[in-house]
Each structure stands twice: as structure tokens, then as C-alpha cells.
């Protein structure tokens, strides 16, 4: 596989679908994964291992994970909120398991009904479970720190809390710590400041990617800020899936198509074919007909974006 500069990690099948108003049939999830791989995506977060009673959209998690594992070279990432979920994810063969923990104590309690310290202890048990597997079968465990740039319950989250929790996660045994702007409250300056502070504490090797939401329209600006401080893994979602009905176009992840366009225009290699990526939207259109699709590049078309004669002539 050719060398890339930035790893674009597609999280739509997990983050997008768990927010969608309807459940996407399993066959469409598989078509989406196949189309994304065909477009050049190398990492896809395909599902979440949560009780189907709580999130019916993820009832087929094991089947979808096993299917994704059939594509050679694809890193199959999943989310698991607790030990039980992580155990199921390992059984299904996931390559990377993100375990979420909120940087905000109030949000962590509301979300997973335990304190942050209890969450760290749970993550330590997940890491022990990983270590009990033969080396070749061990998944990468990512501590996914959420609400890093602000919480809808308690407001601002102190940077010191984020740094302290990152260190605690490394201590618990995670392979990397990813930082998520769950609420879309970051700005480019705070992105840089937090990533630098966490890197200074845990080191380059343990620092994972940036998971950004576009709630206030700063998603791509924040992605650029993360790149500028050396972050090379960026999460995004096809068509910005996951939008909130009360804030149209605002609450989903940053749009994969627009992110890939920006990176490639900057001369950074993603390994992704933009036209094929845009074609993936067809699967969403068919599989979730009620769901709005966002993104600028899909609207204007990729052919106008390249350094074409047309563009040079118009400049």
C-alpha cells in the first residue's frame, strides 16, 4: 500500500448511525464498508458494542465487524463502553477498540453512570484482558477522552483534568489516547494548546488522533490546527452523518469528503479517491433515505476542485 501523510478514520458507521433517526439495514452497512474500502479508506470505525436494547442500530455489531475484517489491510475499529463490550469486540476480531471516558465528571456520570476514576479502573481491566490474548491477536486499545473541549452539562473542562486523565489512561495500559471534541466547542487555539499539553505529558507515541464535531462550524479549522501540531489521524464521517434535527447541518462529525478535499489540496496524501468517496453517499441515500446528507464538495463536485486547467483559467 502506498504511503500516506494523514490517516482519515471514517467513523460514520458508528458515530453517524448511532445518531441517525432510523436503523440502517446490515446489508447497507456492508455495502458502505465495501465502498469505503474501494475508495481507499484504511481505517473504519464500524460499530459500537453496546446492548441492542440501548442502541438498536448496533445490534449487528459482531456481524459487521466480522465482515469488515474480511478486507485485507483495513484497520477495523470499534467502540466499546465497558469491559463486557470490549470482550465481545475482541471475540468479533476488532483490530482497534476505543473505550470512551469523559473528561467531564458530570458527563461521564450521565453517560456511563460512574465516576471517571471508576472508568479508568474499568479500562485497566480491559487492558488486562487484551494482555491475556496471544500477542498477534491483541487489539489496539484507545482511551477515547470525550468532551475534552467542553461539556453540555458542566461547561468548560479544565485542561489540567484532560492532562491528568490522559496520564491515568496510559498508566491503566492503553496503547493510545485520542481526544474528542464531542460537543463541537473547540477552536483552533484550544485544539493546539490541549494537544501540546497532552503530548508533553504522555509523549508522542501514546498520542492518538483528533475526533472533531462540526457543531459550531469550526470542524475543518480545528482539523487544520490539529495537523499543525503534528496530529496525523483525523476522524470524520461520510456526509457529516449524525446531524441533529434541532441544528441542521451542525452536529455531526466533520465531513469526510470535505476533509479529504482539504488535505489533498494542501498536498497531503490520504490514499483516498475523492470521486469514489463521494459515490459512497449513494449507499447512505438508499440505506437511510430520511437522513440529510451534508458536505460542500459533494455539492460542487470534485472535478472542479483539482488543480485543473479550468481552475487555473478562472483564477
Q: How many residues bind Zn ion (CB under 5 A)?
A: 1
244 a catalytic residue: yes
Cβ 306 to Zn ion, closest distance in Å? 30
User: Whose Cβ is closer to Zn ion: residue 29's or residue 213's?
Assistant: 213
**Is the separation of the CB atoms in 68 and 108 below 8 Å?**
no
Residue nearest to Zn ion (CB): 15
Per CB under 5 A, the list member of 15, 45, 60, 122 interacting with Zn ion is 15
Cβ 257 to Zn ion, closest distance in Å? 17
**For residues 189 and 58, what is the distance between their CA atoms, to the nearest angstrom?**
35
**For residues 227 and 223, what is the distance between their CA atoms, to the nearest angstrom?**
6
Q: Residue 142: phi, psi to the nearest 5?
A: -105, 130
Q: Residue 178: phi, psi to the nearest 5?
A: -100, 150
Catalytic residue among 69, 127, 151, 244: 244
**Is the separation of the CB atoms in 256 and 299 below 8 Å?**
no
User: Whose Cβ is closer to Zn ion: residue 16's or residue 302's?
Assistant: 16
Stretch that binds Zn ion, among 7-15, 40-48, 62-70, 156-164 (CB under 5 A): 7-15
Which residue, among 233, 245, 268, 273, has the nearest Cα to 257 in the 3D structure?
273
Which residue, among 143, 253, 263, has the nearest Cα to 198 in the 3D structure?
143
User: Whose Cβ is closer to Zn ion: residue 15's or residue 258's?
Assistant: 15
175 forms part of the interface with Zn ion (CB under 5 A): no
**For residues 35 and 193, what is the distance between their CA atoms, to the nearest angstrom?**
36
Cβ 253 to Zn ion, closest distance in Å? 6
Stretch that binds Zn ion, among 12-20, 96-104, 277-285, 286-294 (CB under 5 A): 12-20
Q: Which residues are catalytic?
A: 244
Residues that bind Zn ion (CB under 5 A): 15
Amino acid at each position: 500500500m502506498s504511503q500516506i501523510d494523514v490517516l482519515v478514520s471514517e467513523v460514520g458507521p458508528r458515530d453517524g448511525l448511532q445518531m441517525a433517526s432510523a436503523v440502517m439495514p446490515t446489508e447497507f452497512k456492508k455495502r458502505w464498508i465495501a465502498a469505503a474500502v474501494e475508495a481507499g479508506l484504511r481505517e473504519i470505525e464500524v460499530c459500537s458494542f453496546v446492548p441492542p436494547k440501548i442502541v438498536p442500530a448496533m445490534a449487528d455489531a459482531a456481524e459487521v465487524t466480522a465482515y469488515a475484517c474480511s478486507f485485507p489491510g483495513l484497520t477495523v475499529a470499534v467502540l466499546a463502553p465497558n469491559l463486557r463490550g470490549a470482550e465481545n469486540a475482541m471475540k468479533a476480531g476488532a483490530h482497534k477498540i476505543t473505550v470512551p471516558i469523559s473528561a467531564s465528571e458530570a458527563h461521564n456520570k450521565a453517560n456511563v453512570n460512574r465516576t471517571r476514576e471508576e472508568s479508568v479502573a474499568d479500562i485497566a481491566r480491559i487492558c488486562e484482558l487484551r494482555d491475556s490474548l496471544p500477542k498477534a491477536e491483541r487489539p489496539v486499545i484507545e482511551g477515547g477522552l470525550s468532551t475534552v473541549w467542553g461539556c453540555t452539562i458542566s461547561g468548560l473542562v479544565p485542561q489540567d483534568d484532560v492532562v491528568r486523565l490522559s496520564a491515568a489512561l496510559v498508566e491503566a495500559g492503553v496503547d493510545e489516547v485520542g481526544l474528542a471534541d464531542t460537543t463541537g466547542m473547540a477552536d483552533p487555539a484550544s485544539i493546539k494548546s490541549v494537544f501540546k499539553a497532552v503530548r508533553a505529558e504522555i509523549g508522542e507515541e501514546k498520542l492518538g488522533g483528533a475526533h472533531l464535531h462540526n457543531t459550531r462550524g469550526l470542524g475543518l479549522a480545528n482539523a487544520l490546527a490539529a495537523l499543525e501540531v503534528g496530529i496525523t489521524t483525523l476522524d470524520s464521517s461520510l456526509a457529516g452523518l449524525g446531524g441533529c434535527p434541532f441544528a441542521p447541518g451542525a452536529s455531526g462529525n466533520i465531513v469526510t469528503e470535505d476533509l479529504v478535499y482539504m488535505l489533498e489540496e494542501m498536498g497531503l496524501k490520504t490514499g483516498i479517491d475523492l470521486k469514489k468517496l463521494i459515490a459512497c453517499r449513494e449507499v447512505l441515500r438508499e440505506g437511510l433515505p430520511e437522513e440529510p446528507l451534508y458536505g460542500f464538495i459533494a455539492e460542487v463536485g470534485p472535478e472542479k476542485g483539482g488543480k485543473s486547467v479550468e481552475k487555473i483559467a478562472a483564477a
